């Protein structure tokens, strides 16, 4: 079984890089086109790769709570467990602006497109300056009716790992004055970080109830992180119960075990 997973994963990896390169090269003319055209190309790439992942590796996607996402501008605070999150989530939004590290813009084609999409590129060297620039850019995106997507931990975390939320998302919440939607997922079980395997099963993405603007800073932070962590633990437990061969580490197993004990 493991050998089959590895073979299918290698095939998918080869197809993924070829398809992505083709989208970047053949779609390079979109750098000179209207931004909406380029965003349509970005969504087309995400839909194509998500379909290929299902066909080749047997990894599907299930979206829950989509009706909880506001129609207009909002702030989406999402867990980040996998590289999968950076492309597969994009088609779920009308016009997302993702908070990314500024260094990405120097990558040929890929980085240029990040600028074209008007994502929010943050220089992390000077925290105070970077925070002000991030807020300023996010306000511009919200004014244009876009959804601002941030991964508050800044980098991928293993499923069930101890959370490491940075405070930037709270500052965005206070300054933007729009609803904040927590986004839970279990992608790291099926597309684990720093590993080649792509496991069959269903990645679940779940939009939670929005937090309205105006909630006090400390209360908002406690509420969001508690709800987001509880939802992710529930999704991990659900997937792991269905397939105990999924790569959930000792820390993750301990956390979902504690969650199950609380329920009983």
* 95-139 residue pLDDT tens: 999 999 888 888 989 999 999 999 999 987 777 888 899 999 999
Is residue 80 within 8 A of residue 184, CB to CB? The reply is no
The rounded distance, in Å, linking the Cα atoms of 141 and 144 is 5
pLDDT at position 92: 97
Q: How far is CA 249 from the centre of its chain?
A: 21
The CA–CA distances, whole Å, from 58 to 20, 28, 191, 195, 203 equal: 19, 30, 12, 17, 11
Residue 264 scores a pLDDT above 50: no
Residue 255 scores a pLDDT above 90: no
- As a whole number, mean pLDDT of residues 148-164 equals 91
pLDDT at position 263: 47
The rounded distance, in Å, linking the Cα atoms of 225 and 137 is 24
Residue 94 scores a pLDDT above 70: yes
Identify each DSSP E strand in the chain by its residue range. 59-64, 74-78, 96-101, 120-122, 147-150, 180-185, 201-207
* Beta bridge pairs of residue 183: 78, 207
- Alpha carbon dihedral 200, 209, 161, 59, in 10-degree steps, equals 10
Neighbours of 99 (CB within 10 A): 22
Name the 3-class secondary structure at 101.
Answer: strand
Name the 3-class secondary structure at 100.
Answer: strand
Question: Could you give the angle at the alpha carbon of 262 between the alpha carbons of 261 and 264, nearest 5°?
Answer: 65
Higher-pLDDT residue of 262 and 68 is 68
Residue 220 scores a pLDDT above 80: yes
Residue 260 scores a pLDDT above 60: no
Exposure of 228 by Cβ count < 10 A (0-12 exposed, 13-18 middle, 19+ buried)? buried
pLDDT at position 229: 95
pLDDT at position 51: 98
Q: What is the mean pLDDT of the chain?
A: 92
The angle that helices 250-263 and 217-242 make with each other, rounded to 10 degrees, is 100
Residue 151 scores a pLDDT above 70: yes
DSSP state at residue 123: -
- As a whole number, mean pLDDT of residues 4-27 equals 96
pLDDT at position 247: 87
The rounded distance, in Å, linking the Cα atoms of 203 and 235 is 9
CATH H superfamily, domain 59-263: Glycerol-3-phosphate (1)-acyltransferase (3.40.1130.10)
Q: How far is CA 147 from the centre of its chain?
A: 13
Residue 183 scores a pLDDT above 60: yes
Query: How would residue 248 be classed by pLDDT, with cut points 50, 70 and 90?
Result: confident
DSSP 179-247: -EEEEEE-GGGTS-TT-----SEEEEEEEPPPBPTT--HHHHHHHHHHHHHHHHHHHHHHHHHH-TTS-
Query: How would residue 197 be classed by pLDDT, with cut points 50, 70 and 90?
Result: very high
Is residue 232 within 8 A of residue 186, CB to CB? The reply is yes
Question: What's the pLDDT tens digit per position in 22-53?
Answer: 999 999 999 999 999 999 999 999 999 999 99
Question: What's the pLDDT tens digit per position in 55-85?
Answer: 999 999 999 999 999 999 999 999 999 999 9
Q: Where are the domains of the chain?
A: 59-263
């Amino acid at each position: 079984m493991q050998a089959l997973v590895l073979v299918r994963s290698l095939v998918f990896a080869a197809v993924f890089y070829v398809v992505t390169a083709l989208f970047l090269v053949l779609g390079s003319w979109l750098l000179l086109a209207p931004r909406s055209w380029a965003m349509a190309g970005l969504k087309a790439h995400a839909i194509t790769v998500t379909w290929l992942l299902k066909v080749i590796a047997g990894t599907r996607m299930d979206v829950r709570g989509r009706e909880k996402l506001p129609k207009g501008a909002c702030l989406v605070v999402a867990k980040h467990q996998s590289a999968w999150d950076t492309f597969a989530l994009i088609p779920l939004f009308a016009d997302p602006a993702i908070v990314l590290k500024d260094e990405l813009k120097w990558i040929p084609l890929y980085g240029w497109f990040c600028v074209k999409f008007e994502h929010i590129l943050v220089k992390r060297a000077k925290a105070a300056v970077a925070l002000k620039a991030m807020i300023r850019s996010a306000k511009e995106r919200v004014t244009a009716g876009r959804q601002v997507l941030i991964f508050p931990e800044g980098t991928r975390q293993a499923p069930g790992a101890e959370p490491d939320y940075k405070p930037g998302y709270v500052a965005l919440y206070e300054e933007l004055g729009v609803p904040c939607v927590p986004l839970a997922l279990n992608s790291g079980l099926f597309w684990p970080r720093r590993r080649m395997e792509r496991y069959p099963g269903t990645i679940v993405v779940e939009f939670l109830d929005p937090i309205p603007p105006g909630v006090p800073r400390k209360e908002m932070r406690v509420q969001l992180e508690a709800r987001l962590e509880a939802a992710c633990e529930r999704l991990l437990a659900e997937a792991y119960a269905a397939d105990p061969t999924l790569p959930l580490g000792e820390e993750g197993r301990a956390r979902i075990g504690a969650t199950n004990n609380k329920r009983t």
